[in-house]
Structure formats: C-alpha cells, structure tokens
Amino acid sequence: MTHWRTVRAKLILTGIPDPLRQLPDMHAVLDVVEAAILEPMDRAEAGKFRFQLYRPDPSEKPKGFDEDDQLAAFAAFEAVAGNLK
C-alpha cells in the first residue's frame, strides 16, 4: 500500500466517494489501510504483521505487577473473602 489512490479507490467501491469528509476520523482511514494490507496475507503472516504493529512497548511495565499493587489486591480480596466465612 503505497498510494492514497489505492485506499481512495477501495473506499469509492464501498460507497464512500469522499473519505476525508465522510469518515469520522483518520482512524477509520487507517482501519481501511490495515484491512487492505492484510487481504493478501495468510493467517501466519497476518499474525506477524499485527504483532509488529501492536506489540506492547517493552519499556512499559504492566499495571498490577509491582509489589504494592499485588499486596493491595490481596488485601482487597481478603477483605471480601474474609466476610464469606
């Protein structure tokens, strides 16, 4: 996918002749581009492409994995489960 014309032609064929005015935001245009890129790929290639596109930032630590968060979650569970006796 190297040209806007290709994306615009796809949108025209689906009934959207003026995408920049008719689509709500650029995310919709990007969704069409992504779908067009994925069309010729098999399942494995598409999986690799999506992983490269959406992989998490390795420098970001997932929420809930530091010790304070774990202890707070356990304390909240204990407060609820303690009342179930």
Record the pTM: 0.61
Per residue in 23-77, pLDDT tens? Answer: 999 999 999 999 989 999 999 999 999 999 998 887 877 766 778 888 888 888 8
Q: What are the tokens at 4?
A: 């806007």
Backbone angles phi, psi at 7, to 5 degrees: -65, -45
Q: Stretch 10-34: mean pLDDT, rounded?
A: 91
- Per-residue confidence band for 4, with pLDDT thresholds at 50, 70 and 90: confident
CB neighbours of residue 47 within 10 Å: 11
Q: What is the pLDDT of residue 81?
A: 83
Q: Which amino acid is present at 73?
A: A
Q: Measured between alpha carbons, how far is 16 from 28 in angstroms, rounded to an integer?
A: 12
pLDDT value, residue 17: 92
The pair of structure tokens assigned to 11 is: 């949108």
